Structure 1
């Protein structure tokens, strides 16, 4: 461990607070958990946090600078992300209601593999996260304590642990509510349409994002 424990605790608390602030990732976990259940929300969370590993390594290796300095790279990545969200919105809008046995996992929803990949793609195609990491993580690093790249990786891992804690709590809460709502086919249809609108909103937000 390169950084002192008090620095890591402060960083962890800050990361938790940021995690609970309304944003694309926690809204994504919320909607997927409500639609498909707690376990699906947890799988999505694992995908999102896998994406955070990519962002952490990108910052540590200096790759994130490209997205801050290159307008073309930033625009390309956010366009891919927005297009993917629109694709998810279309799928959610077309999805019909399905009968879900009480206490069982979703039957006709996306597979856990697809949900995991959704989380990864959702996270890594948002260039603002890479830029946020590049601006946020170094504030807690100390050049006198060794290689900055190792410190940034250490901070990134702590941020991921905080993200897991936040998103798991969101998934658990939303899954409890969704389990009751999904018993009604008409309510499930409404939830699918609501998720579609959320995806469109996130796509527009990402498409309009500036460096």
Structure 2
């Protein structure tokens, strides 16, 4: 029978997860910069993708694959490089933009939103730091004495994903409002994309060179 989280586990983990998600970090910066550059809907969709990417790390933590990645320098380096290169690629695409994806433009089309969701999902799913974070963070709230550690980790990962989806959605929404205000200038969309691209490239480069 599945072991459910106790009220104390639920409340303690949720409080910690909220603080961690709200603290400045790569995901927050990407959601804010993209939302300001391309509109609140784009920011919210990208943020939802980032949040749901946590599910892949939850599965890895449950299956114990994260431990294997953490123990293998080769696997960790490969994943780190893949995540960094992907972020750099996203940044280059934004830097090359002509501004047609500014708020209120074609960025709101369904196919464009699907692409943004997929990018957010992949950007989070291949981030090795998130893999290690889940490996180190989730077990701290597991009550080993109750058994069913895998069930507990799964519930904790799902809870983290849900609260991240809400917070990232809010970040994308308010960033988009800022973007709509700035885009009154014809060239604002171009410069917002330049800022977003710079953020993505910087985060990717940092991930590549970080030890």
Unaligned stretches of 5+ residues in structure 1: none
1:48 counterpart (46, 50, 56): 50
Please say if residues 35 and 176 of structure 2, whose CA atoms lie closer than 8 Å, have aligned partners that are also in contact: yes
- Unaligned 5+ segments in structure 2 are none
Corresponding position: 1:204 with 2:199:
no
Q: Taking structure 1 as reference, are residues 40 and 108 closer, same or farther at Cα in structure 2, changes over 3 Å only?
A: closer
Separation in 2, partners of 1:12, 1:99: 36
**C-alpha offsets along residues 162-183 of structure 1, whole Å, 9 cap, x if unaligned?**
2112111211110110111122
- Map of 2:9 onto structure 1: 7
CA apart distance, 1:108: 4.9
Number of residues paired by the alignment? 207
- Distance across 2 between alignment mates of 1:130 and 1:99: 32
Q: CA RMSD in A?
A: 1.7
8 Å Cα contact 2:57-2:130 kept in structure 1: yes
Indicate how the Cα distance of structure 1 residues 108 and 158 shifts in structure 2: closer, same or farther if over 3 A, else same. Answer: closer
- Runs (4 or more) in structure 1 with deviation over 3 Å come to none
* 1:57 aligned partner: 59
Q: 1:19 aligns with which of 21, 24, 27?
A: 21
TM-score between the two structures when normalised by the length of structure 1: 0.92
- Give the CA deviation at 1:6: 2.1
CA offset digits 1:172-205 (Å, max 9, x no partner): 1101101111222222211111111101110111
Alignment partner, residue 107 of structure 1: 106
Query: Would the aligned equivalents of 1:3 and 1:145 in 2 still touch at CA under 8 Å?
Result: no
1:97 shift after superposition: 2.3
CA distance in 1, matches of 2:76, 2:166: 29
Q: TM-score when scaled to structure 2?
A: 0.92
- Which residue pairs with 2:82 in the alignment? 80
